[in-house]
Amino acid sequence: MTNPTARRGTLPTAWLIVALLVPVALLNYLDRQLIATMQRSIIGDVSGISSQEQWGHMLAWFKWTYAVASPFAGLIADRCSKSLIVCLSLFAWSAVTWATGQATTYEHLLATRAAMGLSEAFYIPTALALIAEHHSAATRSRAVGIHQIGIYLGLMLGSLGGMVADSPRLGWRWGFSAIGLAGVVYALPLLVLLGRSSRDGVVERVGPRESPWGSAAALLANPSFRLLLAYFTLPAIAGWVVRDWMPSVLQKDLGLTQGLAGVSAVIYWQGAAIASAVLGGWLADRWMRTTDRGRIYVSALGMALIVPALLGVGIVIGTKSLPLAILFLVLFGCGWGFFDTNNMPILSQIVPAERRAAGYGLMNMVSISCGGLADVGFGWLRDRQVPLPLIFGGFAALACLSAWLVLRIRPSARP
């Protein structure tokens, strides 16, 4: 249980922690996005890759190891120094990023993607729980929204990977090696700065801690948590496909170069997500002044935008119109920012502080496991030339179901 006299850090300290974590979030998603935008160059240089389904399996290895590790990462984060876990995770995945640039075979690439999933699994549950501990209900959605900006910027920078890969002076191996070294270098000063900031105001806890099984059982016994688990998972199936496959889809279906396809598939909708994350965080915090369902309503609004966006993307790519495809991707980004910004704040309303990281870890496990299956399934469907409107129409139906699920959540507190 939480000490009733527990204190939070000063507001400047709380925002400093967010500022320190934004570059880490950027690197976390930059490393992931590069593999999608450099697909053609990697396939041409690494031996043993012969089909889209095989590429989908490689993408899925990252997600499945990430998924398996996520609940353990959350449980550890609820019991250990969150600052230390963040820094060790950054160092480990950055070293793996560098190693990815040395891959020469498909098996080597599979191994590095699996190791990437394992090392990155510890970051998001830990970082979001750390932010939630230092920010009260008055600023929590805005704080998470600003942290998410780092994620979106990482994806946007990753969209340039195709241009780096196409450069005769650089190439795809240089991209992975340089970014991996940057993360290793940032990990040490981050440990010092984050440790100093966290000591200013960590929420103190007393009493016996639950066993891992006890935490998991308590979370799954909570009906609102089960609803949030499903809500978090279903839209992410489409989200992973958009991130991992859209550069390849635009390149092949619209006849774009690898570099232009990467930029078109990522930059615009991630830019929209940045704006909507800031707006969604502000709107949710403001709405919470009048109702404890404010964050739920903002998230549901985001899902209402995602549904027509997915339908539109599937239809307009078949018309060979890049501007229309970008327009619907921007609409998707607007909805995604509203959705993405409020998941941890909603979780904080339905579970106690000592189970937040574990709860988010379980959410990641289920969501990313399904995302891995979606990557393999999408590759299988592409090999068999299933129409994109049919595929994305299925994603839109899942988003409709998600909007209904989130509106059924009943907050138990307004921490």
Token readout for 227 is 């609803």
What is the mean pLDDT of each successive set of 10 residues along the chain, which is 415 residues long?
Answer: 44 84 91 78 78 76 84 81 89 92 87 89 87 80 87 84 79 87 92 70 47 80 94 89 85 82 83 91 91 93 95 89 93 94 90 84 86 82 86 92 94 64
* Neighbour-count burial for 273-282, b at 16+ CB within 10 Å, e otherwise: bbebbbbbbe
- Selection from 155, 197, 125, 187 nearest residue 351 by Cα: 125
What residue spans define the domains of the chain? Answer: 11-199+211-407
Token readout for 194 is 């984050």
CB 374 within 8 A of CB 310: no
pLDDT at 7: 45
**Phi/psi at 167 (5° precision):** -70, 125
DSSP characters over 116-150: HHHHHTTHHHHHHHHHHHHS-TTTHHHHHHHHHHH
Alpha carbon distance 262, 319 (integer Å): 19
Token readout for 207 is 């009493």
pLDDT at 11: 62
Token readout for 290 is 């009048």
What contacts 24+ positions apart, CB below 8 Å, involve 284-293?
284/141, 284/341, 284/342, 284/345, 285/137, 285/138, 285/139, 285/140, 285/141, 285/142, 288/137, 288/138, 288/141, 288/414, 292/349, 292/411, 292/414, 293/411
Alpha carbon distance 332, 328 (integer Å): 6
**How many H-runs (helices) and E-runs (strands) does the chain carry?**
17, 0
Contacts with 84 (C-beta within 8 Å, 6 or more apart), sequence order: 191, 195
Residue 24: C-alpha distances to residues 18, 79, 146, 149, 341 (Å): 10, 22, 13, 11, 17
**For 40-90, what is each residue's pLDDT tens digit?**
788 877 777 767 777 777 877 888 888 888 888 888 887 778 888 999 999
- The three-point CA angle 373-151-139 to 5° equals 115
In this structure, is the dihedral angle defined by the CA atoms of residues 134, 136, 138 and 141, taken in order, positive or negative? positive
Owner of token pair 């230092």: 134
- Selection from 138, 115, 116, 155 nearest residue 272 by Cα: 155
CATH superfamily of 11-199+211-407: MFS general substrate transporter like domains (1.20.1250.20)
